Structure 1
């Protein structure tokens, strides 16, 4: 029944056989400092904007997590206004969960990160360390080194000699990148997960070359005293000629058959959509360029590399159905194998089998709420009113506020907004994107405040207008900045101790799972030959 649940009842619901969405409605910093293993971040500050994509079926059971501070009840009411019919919350929130003997996990993307660790443990993914890689480079030993992260992360920092090739794209484009079946291939990321998943993906694709993950990625490289390369521009993804495309398609057919992943067409997609008892996600796992060029109407772009790494950014319902859109089917097949290991029912739909791409699939589109219109006010006029005492509330991220904000603006966030405003009368001005301001305005209107305005422009506009900007590196304080996760946040910026803590955290995830959490995984036999184990 909707309403409060004891931690024991909530635990049973989270691990039940049917679909369920466990949404943590606290802000990002609160969530990242400790949450139930299966909880998906859905912060109250943007709840109505995020929830429809995460939970597209209105009658799926939803279980909310907060700090026992009433935000879950407020979230339940907001979700009810969107049409969700079965919303419960943990009585007492995350603290009660922990007090009942259940673990709160730090960090983000826990199920995906743990998948990487389980692959290492059960599949014995071959790895090499930084010493070995450097020796190969020094001795001129032939090898291929690929950075399996998105190009934006490659540009921030990478291992010297690495080529940017995100996971999923690497096996798909392998025939255009590697011309023989004997040269070793090494995959790295910033830590562990995408190195392990990337190497496993190559093995699942049937790549014959010796395959290795680089142990501990760029963080391990830095901890060994070696320098990274920064500011590298990733070249365009390798183009596939007819032979390379055929090679990808052949590998896809083998992977789909070997792992019994259903390949469907438009007619089957329509049948799945018509099943109103199940939640369905249609995700395009190809590159951003391919998705922009052509895709099936209502397909959401979720590149393979990030969908496996951060599944909970796209999929909010446990045990849901997922259809993956692809061209040859290989990126979809490999992603499907990993998602199935995470407990999802997976299908692959090739572009060639999708029918008329311009035709929307009835019943598939995500409902997006219409944000209420908040009248705008010029930033200069807003500052003038604020200096006379009118409240000027900055709803942007705490990090953006610390970096630069309008003079006289105070920072706040939706869960604490009414306390920040207090018994204000007269005009009240809000800074932020249209969606965030609209949600805040709806709460303030319900509290009896109706003279509300959204401040026009952004920092760049305000600078051009020569408006006074203030930087406050310590305000809001770390304790107040509940939207920011400080958990080893500078591990990529030279803080070696943060990097050590992060790697230890990743390696320790499996040991912290309880029996029910471990049972959520469906990991099949290893694709690596026994001699590589």
Structure 2
């Protein structure tokens, strides 16, 4: 499929003018992390249909696709057209064209949120303490509290000794319960720098009376200082009293007002939703547990700290509108204050939780899946025992490593043609994926490549496990290189010191790179 093209200059002009545009990198995460434009969002061809309906909800929004010569744009255009998207373009020259135009290329993931965090520190001189000073406070049993601003799952993997899980949007709401004495030193940490800086600056912006510091360079800095981390901890923030909530509401609302955040009610939300010429994102910034217990219809779970950290993932349409919901208030106000500084048209929804709520975790919007020939876990087990099939697993590589159908080959959907150069020939193919959806989408593509019958494991690998079948661990048969995941130097416990230091050096250079790029439009209050 041949798409109309737009030049890098046209894309840049749209970004500067804040016209709606979604600049989509179709590659897998690892190559994306090596080089991309500042406001590009990674939405891999492999998972396009499963993610695009939520990430680009308005089907006549301007979408610009690119790759780096891998041939991903044409099939992506076909899939988007089949889903009803009407304003899809190809970036002229792809990634190389962007570079040839003299425009900046950024590394890592969530680049513009991280660059913004560095800009905040440079403009506001966010106070911070090095790992050695924090360790000294711990050793001296000084009056302090350490608040970990990451997701709970990240905190549980590794944490600063004594740290309490308090994801970023919760900080202003919870700090008075966690440090009721204004003399208590409050230290905010994450794995690297961004969430530490944004979290600490949130408390400063809200006028918290305590001495507040970011842990300089997060758990990376802690590890480079050769200090021990804790693992498997479960300490969490406390509930808040009515008085604490009242005070937090006042502080957070004042910050949102300074940032230019607007407020709407349910009627105002309905009015925004009627504007079919603007993209509208609806996010619930509370904890996933609160969301599952009861949430407003049409709102996606996006805990506030992660929404600020991963804005490019949650909201690829730069220039769209964002509405935030929070039954208590401070989490939406603080999140909105940061999104406004990031250049978003953002609103806080007031008084809407009196309506009938939906329950359950957030689930992605999916297109209708094709009808395919399936086989049950029992039938697959017999076929494997007879050595009669080859199983291809389309799961993300970390999921595949944690447990897959024995004998299955790891395959990236966008690399199917190359994968068939590695897998055994002469046997029927069975496709699986975590819940079977991706396998269903890929079945027709495999039939075009293979001369053999193609079937899909009914219910995917989850059904295989639920049936009590054994799984195999690791990545022992890779028909695709596992480039679907970028190994972050700030996650996990096995990162090399050189990689962690290189990551910090990259972050330190982001402010200068922002200046060279010239498209961000960030404002720091």
User: By the TM > 0.5 criterion, same fold?
Assistant: yes
Deviates more, 1:187-196 or 1:200-209: 200-209
* Structure 2 match to 1:274: 274
Shift of 1:143: 1.9
**Partners of 2:294 and 2:358 within 8 A in 1:** no
**Partners of 2:377 and 2:464 within 8 A in 1:** no
For residues 400 and 289 of structure 1, what CA distance do their matches in structure 2 show? 23
Deviations 1:365-419 (A, max 9, x none): 9863111233322456446657766443221223444565545533322212144
Does residue 1:83 correspond to 2:84, yes or no? yes
Does residue 1:312 correspond to 2:318, yes or no? no
* Structure 1 match to 2:457: 455
Q: Secondary structure at the match of 1:370?
A: coil
For residues 462 and 284 of structure 1, what CA distance do their matches in structure 2 show? 32
For residues 220 and 197 of structure 2, what CA distance do their matches in structure 1 show? 14
Shift of 1:335: 0.7
Shift of 1:348: 0.5
Structure-to-structure mapping, 1:33-48, within 5 angstroms: 33-48=34-49
**Partners of 2:152 and 2:167 within 8 A in 1:** yes
* Structure 2 match to 1:392: 391
For residues 224 and 146 of structure 1, what CA distance do their matches in structure 2 show? 19
Q: What TM-score comes out, normalization by structure 1 length? A: 0.88
Q: Secondary structure at the match of 1:63?
A: strand
Shift of 1:174: 2.4
* Structure 1 match to 2:108: 107
Shift of 1:444: 3.8
For residues 332 and 167 of structure 2, what CA distance do their matches in structure 1 show? 14
Deviations 1:334-361 (A, max 9, x none): 11111112111011013x345524499x
Does residue 1:371 correspond to 2:369, yes or no? yes
Does residue 1:157 correspond to 2:181, yes or no? no
Q: Secondary structure at the match of 2:168?
A: coil
Structure-to-structure mapping, 1:488-499, within 5 angstroms: 488=489, 492-499=493-500
For residues 15 and 445 of structure 2, what CA distance do their matches in structure 1 show? 30
Does residue 1:197 correspond to 2:208, yes or no? no
Deviations 1:413-445 (A, max 9, x none): 221214434898884310213221122124345
Shift of 1:251: 1.9
* Structure 2 match to 1:239: 239
Q: Secondary structure at the match of 1:103?
A: coil
Aligned residue-pair number: 516
* Structure 2 match to 1:292: 292
Q: Secondary structure at the match of 1:168?
A: helix
1:489–1:376 Cα change, 3 Å? farther
1:354–1:467 Cα change, 3 Å? closer
Structure-to-structure mapping, 1:123-272, within 5 angstroms: 123-235=124-236, 237-272=237-272
1:245–1:276 Cα change, 3 Å? same
* Structure 2 match to 1:529: none
For residues 19 and 307 of structure 2, what CA distance do their matches in structure 1 show? 22
For residues 314 and 121 of structure 1, what CA distance do their matches in structure 2 show? 26
**Partners of 2:157 and 2:492 within 8 A in 1:** no
For residues 168 and 475 of structure 2, what CA distance do their matches in structure 1 show? 39
**Partners of 1:404 and 1:459 within 8 A in 2:** no
**Partners of 1:151 and 1:234 within 8 A in 2:** no
Deviates more, 1:397-406 or 1:78-87: 397-406
For residues 354 and 470 of structure 1, what CA distance do their matches in structure 2 show? 44
Q: What TM-score comes out, normalization by structure 2 length? A: 0.89
Deviates more, 1:463-472 or 1:247-256: 463-472
Deviates more, 1:368-377 or 1:380-389: 380-389
Deviates more, 1:160-169 or 1:135-144: 135-144
**Which segments of 5 or more consecutive residues in structure 1 lack a partner in the other structure?**
526-533
Shift of 1:283: 0.5
Shift of 1:522: 2.6
Deviates more, 1:400-409 or 1:78-87: 400-409
For residues 279 and 255 of structure 2, what CA distance do their matches in structure 1 show? 25
**Partners of 1:192 and 1:215 within 8 A in 2:** yes
**Partners of 2:285 and 2:332 within 8 A in 1:** yes
**Partners of 1:33 and 1:487 within 8 A in 2:** no
**Partners of 1:263 and 1:348 within 8 A in 2:** yes
* Structure 2 match to 1:409: 408
Deviations 1:59-98 (A, max 9, x none): 1100112122221111011111111111111233223322
Deviations 1:143-166 (A, max 9, x none): 222111122111111111222211
**Partners of 2:60 and 2:85 within 8 A in 1:** yes
Give the superposed CA RMSD.
3.0
**Partners of 1:264 and 1:353 within 8 A in 2:** no
For residues 474 and 329 of structure 2, what CA distance do their matches in structure 1 show? 49
**Partners of 1:324 and 1:336 within 8 A in 2:** yes
For residues 166 and 375 of structure 2, what CA distance do their matches in structure 1 show? 45
Deviates more, 1:395-404 or 1:496-505: 395-404
Deviates more, 1:485-494 or 1:336-345: 485-494
Q: Secondary structure at the match of 2:252?
A: helix
Shift of 1:500: 1.0
**Partners of 1:204 and 1:334 within 8 A in 2:** no
**Partners of 2:29 and 2:486 within 8 A in 1:** yes
Shift of 1:506: 1.5
**Partners of 1:185 and 1:209 within 8 A in 2:** yes
Deviates more, 1:396-405 or 1:167-176: 396-405
Structure-to-structure mapping, 1:313-332, within 5 angstroms: 313-332=313-332
1:176–1:500 Cα change, 3 Å? same
* Structure 2 match to 1:50: 51
For residues 247 and 10 of structure 1, what CA distance do their matches in structure 2 show? 44
Deviates more, 1:308-317 or 1:451-460: 451-460
**Which segments of 5 or more consecutive residues in structure 2 lack a partner in the other structure?**
none
